[in-house]
């Protein structure tokens, strides 16, 4: 299953390192929120640890943490 991660992985993985399915789902949510600015924000989001994206979108809809 591509969307199951441990808490250590969530704390250390960068957004761009997620599996494609999870990455695209979270990116779609971010795009809905930041419509016109997503092109400029994407390089910042890509380098951010996954747990920090929780501030902007509910990542736990797409990720199962064990």
**Structure pTM?**
0.88
**Which single residue is written with the structure tokens 């016109």?**
36
Beta bridge mates, 36: none
Q: How far is CA 40 from CA 9, 27, 31, in A?
A: 26, 13, 11
**Mind listing the pLDDT tens digit for each residue in 15-41?**
999 999 999 999 999 999 999 999 999
Question: Residue 31 is encoded by which pair of tokens?
Answer: 């795009």
Average pLDDT, the chain: 91
4 pLDDT tier (thresholds 50, 70, 90): confident
Check residue 1 and give its pLDDT.
58
Q: How confident is the model at residue 65 (pLDDT cuts 50, 70, 90)?
A: confident
Closest residue by Cα to residue 55 from 42, 64, 45, 43: 45
């Amino acid at each position: 299953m591509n969307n199951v991660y441990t808490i250590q992985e969530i704390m250390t993985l960068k957004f761009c390192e997620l599996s494609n399915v999870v990455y695209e789902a979270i990116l779609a949510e971010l795009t809905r929120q930041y419509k016109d600015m997503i092109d400029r924000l994407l390089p910042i989001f890509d380098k951010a640890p996954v747990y920090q994206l929780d501030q902007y979108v509910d990542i736990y809809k797409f990720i199962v943490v064990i």
